[in-house]
Each structure stands twice: as C-alpha cells, then as structure tokens.
A and B are shown apart, each in its own frame.
Chain A
Amino acid sequence: MLDYFIRRLLGAIPTIFIIIFISFFLIRLAPGGPFDFDRSLAPEIQANLNAKYHLDEPVYVQFGYYLKDIVRGDFGPSFQYKNYTVTELIVQGFPVSMQLGLSAIILALLLGCSAGIFAAYKQNSRFDYLVMAISMTGISIPNFVMAPLLILLFAIALSIFPAGGWNDGAFQNQVLPIITLALPQIAYIARITRGSMIEVLRTSYIRTAFSKGLPTVYILTRHALKPTLLPVISYLGPAIAGLITGSVVVEQIYGIPGLGRYFVQGALNRDYTLVMGVAVFYGMLIIVLNLLVDILYGWLDPQIRIRSKQA
C-alpha cells in the first residue's frame, strides 16, 4: 500500500511540472503585459518595473526564478492587487471555494446515491423513470444556465434567497451556489449508482440474502451498498475537476469572493502571476485529490488490495 502510494506520488511530479511549464510559457509569450497602460510610462519607470519583476531577462531565466519560488511555496506578488502576494490571495479565496465545493460534493453524494439506489431497487417503476429523466436534465443543463434560472425563480420571483453576494458565508447566501454546483454531480452520481446497483442486485450473494428472508433495508445497506459505491468512488476524481471548473462560473455569477473569481478577474486583467499561481494551485489540488480517491478505492475494493499484496 505504501509502495503504491509513493509510486503514485512520484508519478504526479511530471504532471505538475508540465502544468507549471505550459502556464508559464503561455503567459510570457502572449502579447500585452501588465504595464501596458493607455498612457506610456516614463522609460526609466518602465525599466525599473521590468527589473523588479525580472521581466528584462530571457524567458528561460525567468522560468528558473519562478520554479525556484514555487518550490518554496511562493507564487510571487500579484501584478494587479498591488499590496498582496498571490499566495495571500489563494489563502484568502480558497477557503470560500472549498466550503462551497465540499458542501456540494456531500450533498451530491447523499442525494445522488440514495436516488440511484432506490431507482435501481424499483427498476422500471415510475420513480425510476422520474429519477432518470431528472438526472438527464441535470446533465444537459449547464451550470451557467441553471444559475440564472435558479436566481430568477428563488431570488426574484419567490424572494426566498438573495440573488448573490457572500455576506461572510451566511447560510442563505450559500444555498443557491451550492445547489447550482451540486445539481450536475447529483445527476451523474444517481446514474452511476443506479447502473452499479442493478448489477449488484443480480449477483448470487444478494439472491441468497433475499432467499434467507433478510429484511430488504438490511440487504441494501449491509450487503449491496459497498460494492455499489465503488464506481461512485472512482467517479469522484472527475467530479472534483468538474466542481472546480464549475466554481469559476458559479462564483462569477453569484459574486462570491472565491478563488475561481480571482482566476477570471486575473485572466481579464492579464495578472500573470495570479493566473499562473491559481492554475498551478488547482493543478496540484486535482492531482492530490485524485491520489486520495485512488487510495480510498484501493482500500474499499478487496480485489485491488489482494493484487497489490501479491505484486
């Protein structure tokens, strides 16, 4: 197990390096810089600015500087938010994004799994068709369409929840963003759980359990649940990536001061270091979370456990 863990960790290093490499060169080679103002600056000031941020040196030297700083956990100063470093902005924005993302994934797992299990248990019933129809809708309607529709319904027509803003994380302000983030994941998880549960219910050990006369709830929770959830666990990796991408739009629409919003603002303002820092941070986050998902999967699936013991 430890062996497997270390191998996966080492495998992640080239991925992170490529992320840093691509984002660095994309930004440096792009036209336009953070000091391109409408009025041109005095040449001395321009030169000083360039020297301060090493912009006067060759690109590969700049890459060396950047890499060295990242290893020390320093993403440099933000070009746009003058008094902040990128690390400070990440520290500020990430907890907000994480709170939304975590709530959304927990909600999605709870609702998606239970809907999927019941749909499978009552296969081809009306409830089953209803769950499948709703989940197809959830998959097909993108979050940037869902968010305005939710605002239209719950904030403008019914005025139950505020249409946006963060308000230091007040509960009412969190409801709509979390629902928007969770809906597509609920849909995917429900579909996966249903498919997997249908297969599990066909196995002979479940038939045995039923013929022993065990109560249905007991069979579903004690015998069928664990194998059913394996495909859901392996879906968690893509789900996390989807949530992070989704948070960019959701934070933008609801005006939430999270990391995704900083990313879009940074991209629009050509804030080199901020955009790069957030991209690298998210890249590393996705890799680490995928690693955790893999380990969880190995721990839950006896087949993998046995295979890694034999190897």
Chain B
Amino acid sequence: MNSQGLFASPRQQVWERLKGNRAAMIAVAIILFLVVSAIIGPWLSPFSAEVIDYEAIASEPSFTSGHVFGTDSLGRDIFVRTLEGSRISLAIGLVATLVSLLIGVNYGAIAGYFGGRIDAVMMRIVDILYAMPFMFFVILLMVFFGRNIFLIFIAIGAINWLDIARIVRGQTLAIKQQAYVEAARIYGAGHWKIIRKHIVPNLLGIVVVYITLTIPQVILVESFLSFLGLGIQEPMTSLGALVSEGANEMETHSWMLIFPAIFLAVILFCFNFIGDGLRDALDTKQTEKQAS
C-alpha cells in the first residue's frame, strides 16, 4: 500500500488522498466502532431490550443501577434499546441502499449502454420521477400494506435509485467508448455479458461514493417514518422510533430523547463526512489541479 507517485494506481491514489482527510478517517473509525457495538453491545450489557426492570421505571441515567442511559417509562434499559435501534437503522441503511443500488446500476447501465431512443425514454422517466413527492408515496405504502420491515427495506430502496441511475448512465456512456469494450464485442460477447463483466465493474468507484451518501438518506427516511409511527413497530425499535418515544416524555425525562437523538445525529454526521471525503478524493478536477 505504500506505492506512491508515478506507479500508484488510481485506486491507491484515492486511498492516499482519503487517508489525508482527517475528518473522514475519524468518521470511518466512529462508524466502525458503532457498527461493532450495535452488533455485540446488547449481549455485553446485563440488561435486555425487552425485559422490564420493575425496580427502575423511568429512572435517571446512573452508574450505580447499571442503567447508564437510564430507563424508559416501561423500565427498559435505554442503552440496550439505543444499540438495538442503531442496529436496525444501520441494517435498513445498508439493505435499502443495496436495493436502490441494484435498481439504479442496472437501469443506468442499460440506458447508457443501449443509448438512442431507449436511453431517451428511460431518462425521461427518471426526470418525471424526480418531480414526485416520494415521501408521500412511502407513507401511503406503509399505511396500506402494513408496517412490514421487508416492505420498509424495499420501499425506501425503491425511491432512492434515481441519483445512482443518472450517475451510472453518464459513466456508462463514457466507458462503452473504451477499446476494451470494443475488443469484447469483437470477440463475440453478448450485450448482457459486456454490461455485467466490462461496464459494471468499472463503475464501482463512483458508485461507492453514492453508497455512502445514500445510506444516511435512507436512515433518515426510515427514522422519519418511524417517528410518525408509520415505520418500525414494537417490539422492534429503531432510532427514529426511540426519538419519537423520547419526545413524548421529554418534559420530565429528557434522557429518553437525548441519547437516541445523539446516536442518530452522530451516525448521519459520520456518513456525510465519509461521503464528502470520498467525493473529494475521487474528484478528478482536483487531481488535475494538483498535477498542473
């Protein structure tokens, strides 16, 4: 990894630049730490998210009782619930982003690869969809088809693919002019094989940036729905649902609001920093400026 200067591949250059961005690296560290603690944290705590502690109902955060974040109005430990909520929120962020990636990459690659009238029609559809008030449709979906967690994954993923489709299409237009794509065609590779083997793998750099920018958006949409009571349902919980519960109790028990709110803000904050850092690191304009 210490190959520098002339011999560094583009990927290594990007990595070197990203390492130089202190804010982004700190954000990566915090996210990794949060992911690990969201996965294993609940097992390490003496309390469980669903068990009621009758000795400590709506009690303040204290180290002596072991409830470091306090308990909610049912006597459940907020520390464990916050970690479980983070786990669900991060999982939704990841899965829904993958759904949007799947749709967006395929859609954009097909539009860009075939070009011409197909491209024009497909991108016109994207333009039309851009003007839609999507949040309203997701709310409708949640109300009508029950608040099923898989539906939440898919519905949120299905509304966030437009940006990715546009970016991928633009990149595909450039990539399909490359000599290696032509060589593959001369060798008799079919359209689908060229798209799958030659175009999509070369898009991934840009796509990674959009993944890190889509994850916080998705987490935000899910929390928004859960806050309105239209998202994750009990006994499961997410950061949005916890903030909503906390907001109802904040006049007397402010810790129920503050801890989940901090977690949510920190997660969104970190992803935004990582996305910004990656975008700067991949920005070719900057590379040219440094080179000249």
Contact = CB atoms under 8 A, between A and B. Distances in A.
Interface of A: 12, 14-15, 18-19, 22-23, 26-27, 29-32, 136-137, 139-142, 144-145, 147-149, 151-152, 156, 241, 244-245, 248-249, 252-253, 263-264, 267-268, 270, 275, 278-279, 282-283, 286-287, 290
Given A27-B144, A245-B135, A263-B136, A144 B251 contact: no
Given A26-B140, A142-B223, A142-B264, A283 B145 contact: no
A286 B247 contact: no
B140 A248 contact: no
A310 B243 CA distance: 55
A241 to B, nearest CB: 7
Interface centre among A27, A137, A144, A249 (most CB of B within 10 A): A144
Interface in B116-150: 128, 131-133, 135-137, 139-141, 143-145
A154 to B, nearest CB: 13
Interface of A is mostly: helix
A278 B17 CA distance: 48
Contacts, number: 111
A245 B145 CA distance: 21
B40 to A, nearest CB: 26
Given A142-B224, A142-B268, 10 more contacts: A15-B131, A23-B140, A145-B261, A152-B254, A152-B257, A248-B228, A264-B139, A268-B143, A279-B133, A287-B131
Interface residues of B, number: 37
Interface of B: 128, 131-133, 135-137, 139-141, 143-145, 216, 220, 223-224, 227-230, 240, 243-244, 246-247, 250-251, 254, 257, 261, 264-265, 268-269, 272-273
Q: What are the 7 tightest A-B residue pairs by CB atom distance, in nearest-first order?
A: A30-B144, A148-B247, A140-B269, A140-B268, A144-B227, A245-B135, A145-B261
Nearest to B273: A136
Contacts of A267: 139-140, 143, 230
22 contacts: A18-B128, A18-B132, A26-B140, A30-B144, A31-B144, A31-B145, A136-B273, A137-B265, A139-B272, A141-B265, A141-B268, A144-B223, A144-B243, A249-B224, A249-B227, A267-B139, A268-B230, A275-B140, A278-B136, A279-B136, A287-B131, A290-B131
